[in-house]
Structure 1
Amino acid sequence: MKIKTHAVYYLLVFNIVIAFADYVPTDSILLDCGSTTDTVDVDGRKWIGDSNTAFGLPAGGSVTATAEFQDPSLPSQSPYMTARVFHSPITYNFPVSPKTRHWLRLHFYPAPYAGLVPDDAYFDVESSNGHTLLRNFSAYVTAQALTQAFIVREFSLGLIKGGVLEITFRPSDKRESGYAFVNGIEVVSMPEIYGAPAALVGFADQTVEVAGSALQTMYRLNVGGGYVGARNDTGLSRTWYDDSPYIFGAGFGVTYLADPKVKIRPPSGNSDAGYAPADVYGTARSMGPDSRVNMNYNMTWLFQVDANFTYIVRLHFCELQLSKINQRVFDIYINNQTAQESADVLAWSDARGVPVVKDYATYVPGDQLLVALHPSDATRPEYYDAILNGLELFKINDTSGNLAGPNPSPSPMLLAAEAREPEPGFRKSSRRAHVIGGAAGGAAAAVGIAFAICFAVYQRKRRVLGSESAGTSGWLPLYGGGNSTTTTGTSKSNASSHLSSLAVSLCRHFSIAEIKQGTRNFDESLVIGVGGFGKVYRGDIDGGTTRVAVKRSNPSSEQGVNEFQTEIEMLSKLRHRHLVSLIGYCEENGEMILVYDYMAHGTLREHLYNKGNNNPPLSWKQRLEICIGAARGLHYLHTGAKYTIIHRDVKTTNILLDEKWVAKVSDFGLSKTGPTLNNQNHVSTVVKGSFGYLDPEYFRRQQLTDKSDVYSFGVVLFEVLCARPALNPSLAKEQVSLADWALHCQRKGALEEIMDPFLKGKIGPECMRKFAETAEKCLSDHGIERPAMGDVLWNLEFALQLQEGFESGGGKIVEGTNVAVDDANGSVGGGSEASEESDGLNSSAVFSQLINPKGR
């Protein structure tokens, strides 16, 4: 099955405009709490200051307050800098239409207000019809655990008795200094999008009535696509997020856009069925083109939820490629129970480009919910595949009218970060200067290889709260808003005061105003990756003439100040074609920001796994050239700089690709200078790196050498060949570690069985042998047995020549020379023939120019 893609996205947008008519709400109250002025937000919606309105607030029952500082991630013209604070129960009364359902969105920015401590605010929120929306809620704890600067809670409330919606804020009576607060309230009418009962999973003859219930929106995902804001919704002012942070395991499948000729349109006469915007239906995620592979895995999403509630799983489908029934049929599973057998989107919709919405109800006794798709074999479809365009997850109130769940728990890494002594340049936070945020995944202090599988499983279960450094653009729970930042006001970390004068002089210093202008105030739609240091945004500087990548620190990250300083110290003095270039940095208002050259094609990893029309598979020659470029960069670090530099975090997410597909090594936050004494060949240091790539000898002995990078690069080589992650805990135990499994297959002569199916038959046998031998030697148990990076580079260059000879249909390349041998007559065009049985790990004059690479 071929998947079509088109770069002319504006045509898709044109289809969207003409296909969907927006709902116009009868009630639309957007309240900027504590404010005396009206503002217009980025979506063009008008917020009114609640100081100019009554809404039932008694005189003297509350006070207005202004946040003591403004987090840079707050959206411009947002309702977050002012708040209404309550020390006793207070009720808002909103006059609304009693004949329609309403959205209720509550906005919270947990900052100090008039000397109040953010973590003293614990409170309940109740609404009309006896619904408890929040109980003992702490916006501070929630923001901290979810690594967000502000929190939005969205509810959908049924018909309002008497035409007055009452919202009561009740401070917890468990704290003498406790209080309640709110920054913004939205009350917006909506159509009854939950009219039809939802099928109860596991009970074929039972359904769950949703129409009269109150619901909380838990997740809203644009599957296979990116962020879609309220401005581009169907009049329902919903926000849709990237689904990739919630994908369980390594089964990402492929993503694609609709053909511009496909008009996306809802079925006639059914416009209020809760359809997503056409931007959501215009992208999809499928399992991929290989039916054999698809039958062996599920495409699965994992969500953290509150236990002991019933949930509505709303799935959005729209067939964008096929045109006949029984071409693509699949089963749907929710929490390992069959929700739908033999789902055929075209059978449901009768036409390509017509969306379908399906609701399923399930009771969840635990704190996780799984949604999985698997090809169906029952109807013998033409393609064994599955697709999904959008996903929403709603919690239904229980029999007592309660929707409230517990406050989330901060991650262990975050708690450790708060407990440890501050790093140089950071002052320890007081109760009035807290950190809102947590540590993301990525490079972290490593533990034993024996614990790698356990950690991988843990990360998989926790990925809703934090992303691995996989270069995805996710990492945000629903309505997270901004990423975590320090809340110490205008105080600076002064991390740059520890930099050398040379490093400072070689780097450009950006103001926070320049950074915010270049990233549209850290617009979430510009996020292009997330790592251990923080989020990476696409930005434009110098009047929009220069595109850059802006890496913004997550202050609770374990890397933090050390990475900030190391990146500047290292990259300011290194210039090479195959190293990413650091342009400058910003350290202002508690921010630590690094600015790099923009790499148009992103990370190597995303081109290995997220293959599809947006990312067509890399050819084998392309992959070899990328590996050679990365090897050149590492070889320069090891031998070309003043001192040996050990990268310490070599992996496919740290190999970036520019607009010409030139590979550049990035992310030097964990790098170390090699031994400087003549009698030493290692550096004794705490073990750090990334699971799956970590040198076992380095772990055992805590002695770091340049051969540790060689080991990691060996994993990268097998990852490039096999197009699978370094660790995949969903596989059988012996296959979890790519390094172990690839070595096992290599030694059995079965490596071709686990290689990327796309590459089968496309690699020359001699090239395959040379490449596999090189990767195998890189993964030797003992560093002394591994080749130097220069030798690895030589072998990859030779493998490329072998591949070029294979593709040209010419003769065989003789090892140790730079000439071709004609297989027909054995004549040699020059030079001496070397034994093909040579291990090939010796330098050659042919590649002598690589030993002293010239800087850019």
Structure 2
Amino acid sequence: MVNIYSCELLILIGSILCLVCVSLEYVPEDNYLIDCGSSTNSSVGDRVFVADQSYSDVLSTPHSISANTSSDSTSSTYDSALYQTAKIFNESSHYTFPIKKPGRHWIRLHFFPFVYRNYNLSMAKFSVSAQNFTLIREYRLESPPIVKEYSVNVTSGNLVLTFTPSVNSFAFINALEVFSLPDELIPAGARTISSIQGNYKNLWKQALETVERVNMGNQTVFPQNDTLWRLWVSDNEYLIHNNLVTFVSNVTAVNFTGGGPTENIAPSLVYGTATRLNSDSDPNINANVTWLFDVDPGFEYLVRFHFCDILSNPHPKLYFNVYIGSWLVYQNLDLLKLTFSLGAPYFMDVITRASDTRLLNVSVGPSNVGIPYPNAILNGLEIMKISNSEDSLDVLDSISSRSSEVKVIIVVGLTVGLFLVVVLAFVLFLLCRRRKLDHADPLKSEGHFPTSGGGNNRYFNGANIFSTSKFGPVIDPSVSRERVNLVDWALKSIRGGKLEEIVDPRLEGQIQPDSLKKFVEIAEKCLAECGVDRPSMGDVLWNLECSLQLQGNEERSGNNCQISTQFNRGNNFETRVSAREFSLGGGDDLDGVSMSKVFAQMVREEMR
């Protein structure tokens, strides 16, 4: 009788536990699980992936192929059944999922290549986007099987997932998941870890990609043991200096009561294991426990730390520091003070940026608050890439974005520099016009204007350029007789190979020889005896730009900075800025010239 009652009691307890487990299971309001290319449903744990023919209304494609393989050599953490079939797309195709609950949704893409007829899936190259976000671009599978996981905030009634084959290639997908997430899982934002501590970044409009999800304590947690079907890989392969740590496991010590994190944040199997600084053998140890991860440079990352004090009781109180790289994330972390209970889970989110490195290291280490002996633990860690300003999560777009930023900086720098030179020239030109009686008459009397019309203005261009380098007037009666006329003296110095004489002493040692040569060369051309031989204003501006670039030691093809005898229109500025954009007026007159249009056109041409 006793045995019978004992059996009945065990059955009752088991039933209650099952009901509790079922009640804790998360049921997403939006839940699309598709076994792509399959004609039958596939069971994976307690979930059913539906044959994609049942979702024919969500797929829009000009042409697709349902592929399958008889190979059973697939080894996957999820289930080999998902990787026996695939959907192949030769053209851009869209999955449009109706959304009931606005908010964060997970997108999981399952890839496993095999050979089907003429299609070798390992050779596929394609891009995938969701809403306006680029998830992957020009992607080719590296090492199968691959599960890529993304989080997108859906604010409309549909989530559109697009597969786009690259040129002369195709796209494929073995299985996909789209389901709504618990509201508490992804934060609205987090504080940033950088040179300016305490900044807050909003994540509402960003997409996220799961880069790493790690369980400390050297134990893997499989999807069937997670309420959100996540895989938590063991931390052992990421650890540096394994001899400094001890792996701890005490799952029964985890206590989810008290209004703290639920198992949707992380399961008890994550909070119930930990990697701990091994200070038992050396009470004076002064070292950090460090994990090293591969990341894509140029992106920001949301890093989530999971903590739970599961150490045996009694034990010395835990105080320790938390770091990302050399940045201090939390000093003197006291879990008991934060959770008010031993075994209570706690997590912490911060955002960091990987600027120029492909490695991100995370560490915990002893505090200096005077505890009996040093200690530090970590239970779990998640690293999520944040979409960039181009709404992309792909490293190719990150590189392109950074290149564009550098190019814009260079173009703006050149434009500003050229603008300053031209403005100075114009100011001097206006001053010269105001002093026309002092300047024009002596020049005319000496026969410098053998022609009339627009050529005269170009002659003044040369005179003004020389006055810029000398910081003096064109005609200066206060100097020696041979230097009264700056133009004559400058030309004589040039032809005598004495360029240094026409440079103001205040500029000595500051001008690059090639830059000065180019500067003087265009001035000399402006002073040609015949007006028709003098360069246009466009040529003047273009060659002043070349001089500026040479001064800045910028590399430029010699052909681009040459002034041919005939003033080759293929390289001059007037060809690049059409007559419809602006007009130099009759006779090359400067009146009415819109320099803002000139510079705007220069920037557009440089960007191309």
SS of 1:280's partner is: helix
2:258 pairs with 1:256: no
Shift of residue 326, structure 1, vs aligned partner: 7.9
CA distance change for structure 1 residues 194 and 56 in 2, over 3 Å: closer, same or farther?
closer
Correspondences of 1:171-570 after superposition (within 5 Å): 171-173=165-167, 176=168, 178-192=169-183, 193-195=185-187, 197-202=189-194, 203-233=196-226, 235-258=227-250, 260=252, 262-268=253-259, 271=262, 275-290=265-280, 292=282, 295-321=285-311, 327-365=317-355, 366-377=357-368, 379-405=369-395
Residue 350 of structure 1 aligns to which amino acid in structure 2?
F
| Structure 2 equivalent of residue 123 of structure 1 | 126
Q: In 2, distance between residues paired with 1:15 and 1:346? A: 31
Change (3 A) 1:204 1:16: farther
**CA deviation after TM superposition for structure 1 residue 86, in Å:** 0.7
How far did residue 98 of structure 1 move?
Answer: 4.1
Aligned-partner residue type, residue 174 of structure 2? N
Return the match for 1:168 from 154, 162, 167. 162
TM-score under structure 2 normalisation? 0.58
Cα displacement string for residues 652-704 of structure 1 (whole angstroms, at most 9, x for unaligned residues): xxxxxxxxxxxxxxxxxxxxxxxxxxxxxxxxxxxxxxxxxxxxxxxxxxxxx
Q: 2:192, 2:283 → 1: CA distance?
A: 31
5 Å matches for 1:756-835? none
8 Å contact from structure 1 (residues 15, 264) kept in 2: no
Per the alignment, in what secondary structure is the counterpart of residue 162 of structure 1? coil
- 1:78 is matched with 81
Partner Cα distance (1:324, 1:131) in 2: 51
Aligned partner letter, 1:238: R
Change (3 A) 1:210 1:56: same
What is the distance in 1 between the residues matched to 2:271 and 2:238?
19
1:270 shift after superposition: 5.2
CA distance in structure 2 between the partners assigned to 1:217 and 1:308 by the alignment: 16
Kindly state the Cα deviation for residue 278 of structure 1 after the two structures are TM-superposed: 0.5
Correspondent of 2:24 among 17, 21, 24: 21
Question: For residues 329 and 223 of structure 2, what CA distance do their matches in structure 1 show?
Answer: 30
Q: 1:55 to 1:362 in 2, by over 3 A?
A: farther
Q: Which amino acid aligns with 1:120?
A: M
Alignment CA distance shift 1:182-1:293 (3 Å): farther
Mapping 1:31-42, distance limit 5 Å: 31-41=34-44
Matched residue type, 1:171: P
Counterparts of 2:100 and 2:332, CA distance in 1: 42
2: CA distance between counterparts of 1:268 and 1:383?
32
* CA pair 304-217 structure 1, distance change in 2 beyond 3 A: same
Distance 1:351 1:269 in 2: 11
| Residue 87, structure 1, aligned to residue 104, structure 2 | no
Give 2:113's match in structure 1, choosing from 110, 114, 124. 110
Give the superposition deviation at 1:376. Answer: 0.6
Structure 1 CA distance for aligned equivalents of residues 303 and 200 of structure 2: 13
Pick closer, same or farther for the CA change 1:196–1:387 going to 2, 3 Å.
Answer: farther
Counterpart contact for 2:102–2:156, Cα < 8 Å:
no
Report the counterpart of residue 737 of structure 1 in structure 2.
none
Matches within 5 A, 1:566-645: none
> In the aligned structure 2, how far is the partner of 1:389 from the partner of 1:374?
14
Instruction: Compute the displacement of 1:134 (Å).
Output: 0.4
Residue number in structure 2 paired with 1:685: none
SS in 2 for 1:78: helix
The corresponding residue for 1:65 is 67
Matches within 5 A, 1:828-847: none
In 2: Cα distance, 1:294 partner to 1:53 partner:
62
Say whether the 8 Å CA contact 2:320–2:334 is kept in structure 1: yes
d(CA) in 2 for partners of 1:360, 1:294: 30
Distance 2:244 2:41 in 1: 44
CA contact (8 A) 2:34 2:175 kept: yes
Is 1:152 the counterpart of 2:152? The answer is no
Tell me the alpha carbon deviations over residues 409-462 of structure 1, each in whole angstroms, 9 at most, x when there is no partner: xxxxxxxxxxxxxxxxxxxxxxxxxxxxxxxxxxxxxxxxxxxxxxxxxxxxxx
Letter in 1 for 2:36: C
Would you say the 8 A contact 1:225–1:280 is kept in 2?
no
Confirm or deny: 8 A CA contact 1:137 1:406 kept in the other structure: no
- Percent of aligned positions with the same letter in both sequences? 32
1:184 alignment partner AA = A
State the shift of 1:360 in Å.
1.4
Distance of aligned partners of 1:162 and 1:283 in 2 relative to their CA distance in 1, 3 Å threshold: same
Residue 78 of structure 1, CA deviation = 2.5
What displacement does 1:337 show?
1.4
1:687-766 matched pairs, under 5 angstroms: none
Alpha-carbon distance in structure 1 between the residues aligned to 2:164 and 2:350: 34
> d(CA) in 1 for partners of 2:188 and 2:54?
40
Report deviation, 1:224.
Answer: 0.2
- Quick one: which amino acid aligns to residue 211 of structure 2? M
Give the Cα–Cα distance (whole angstroms) in 2 for the partners of residues 22 and 83 of structure 1: 29
Aligned-partner SS, 1:236: coil
Shift of 1:384: 1.0
SS at match of 2:24: coil
Matched residue SS, 2:106? strand
Distance 1:320 1:19, change over 3 A: farther
Contact 1:37 1:48 in 2 (8 A): yes
Distance 1:315 1:300, change over 3 A: same
Deviation at 1:236, TM superposition (A): 1.4
Q: Is the 8 A contact 2:61 2:94 kept in 1?
A: no
Is the 2:30–2:101 Cα contact (8 Å) retained in structure 1?
no
- Kindly state the Cα deviation for residue 294 of structure 1 after the two structures are TM-superposed: 6.5
- Counterparts of 1:380 and 1:81, CA distance in 2: 59
| Contact 1:222–1:390 (Cα < 8 Å) also in 2 | yes
Matching residue of 2:518: none
- Aligned 1:646-657 pairs, distance under 5 A: none
Distance 1:16 1:245 in 2: 37
* CA deviation profile, 1:730-780 (whole Å, cap 9, x unmatched): xxxxxxxxxxxxxxxxxxxxxxxxxxxxxxxxxxxxxxxxxxxxxxxxxxx
Retained in 2: the 8 A contact 1:323–1:351?
no
CA RMSD of aligned residues (A): 2.8
Cα distance in 2, alignment partners of residues 153 and 263 from structure 1: 30
Task: Give the Cα separation in 2 of the matches to 1:17 and 1:310.
Answer: 39
> What corresponds to 2:514 in structure 1?
none
**Unaligned residue ranges in structure 1 (runs of 5+):** 1-10, 144-148, 408-856
Q: Distance in 2 between matches of 1:198 and 1:406?
A: 26
Query: Is contact 2:251-2:271 (8 Å) kept?
Result: no
State the Cα distance separating 1:28 from its structure 2 match.
Answer: 1.4
CA contact (8 A) 1:15 1:263 kept: no
Q: For this pair of structures, how many residues does the alignment match?
A: 378
**What is the one-letter code of the residue matched to 1:36?**
S
Counterpart contact for 1:303–1:370, Cα < 8 Å: yes
TM-score by length of 1: 0.42
Residue 90 (structure 1) shift: 0.4
Cα 1:269–1:133, aligned 2, differ >3 Å: closer, same or farther? same
* One-letter code aligned to 1:73: S
